[in-house]
């Protein structure tokens, strides 16, 4: 089975609440590759690559918001997998 990729943008109180690091830990636990970064607009953007079930679980993790985050909305975009390995926190 091939990898799928979804890019998500989380809106709400998502910066300064360990959102990116919590997302990295969850992705590593699930064997999902990708990255997460803060944006100048105050959102967190992330890309997840892996098997469909694990990536879907990561999207749901973001929707629920880790820790003290308060996620008001999540945009989800299907993209072509790039073959990423590991999970990085960017910017």
CB 58 within 8 A of CB 30: yes
90 is an active site residue: no
Set 7, 38, 63, 73: catalytic member: 38
Q: Which of 5, 6, 20, 24 is catalytic?
A: 20
Q: Examine the residue annotation and report whether 24 is marked as an active-site residue of this protein.
A: no
What residues are labeled active site? Answer: 20, 38
């Amino acid at each position: 089975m091939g990898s799928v990729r979804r890019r998500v943008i989380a809106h709400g109180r998502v910066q300064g609440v360990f959102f990116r690091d919590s997302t990295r830990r969850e992705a590593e636990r699930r064997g999902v590759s990708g990255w997460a970064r803060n944006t100048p607009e105050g959102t967190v953007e992330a890309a997840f690559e892996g098997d469909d079930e694990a990536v879907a679980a990561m999207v749901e993790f973001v929707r629920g918001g880790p820790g003290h985050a308060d996620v008001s909305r999540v945009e989800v975009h299907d993209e072509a997998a790039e073959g990423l390995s590991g999970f990085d926190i960017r910017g």
